[in-house]
Amino acid sequence: MRTPRGSQMRNVCEWRKPCAESGMDRISSEARQRLMDRQRFLETLTARELAEVEAALLRIEAGAYGRCENCGGPIGAQRLRAIPEARNCIGCASKR
């Protein structure tokens, strides 16, 4: 037996009423906000990482890849394997 649409809506409203009274809407709102904040953070982090990789590609084209931007010395092969977009040698990076 199908119930009329209006009574379905009343049932949903009745179901939500205890949730709203107990603060579930507030919790849901806070959870949504945390998720949105986390997504913004991840988007920013991803954009920053992409920019670093693109900068490394430009250094390759310019013939400067593997050279420290601070002191001009070589960036160690192990460091470049671990962090291919590294801009500084380990010595200069540890001073920052």
**Domain regions of the chain by residue span:** 1-63, 66-96
| DSSP secondary structure, 34-64, as one string | HHHHHHHHHHHHHHHHHHHHHHHHHHHHHT-
Give residue 43's pLDDT.
Answer: 94
pLDDT digits (tens, 9 = 90+) for 7-63: 554 555 555 555 555 555 667 888 889 999 999 999 999 999 999 999 999 999 999
Cβ 30 vs Cβ 38: under 8 Å: no
pLDDT digits (tens, 9 = 90+) for 57-68: 999 999 999 999
Distance CA 60, CA 73 (A): 16
pTM: predicted TM-score of the whole model, two decimal places:
0.60
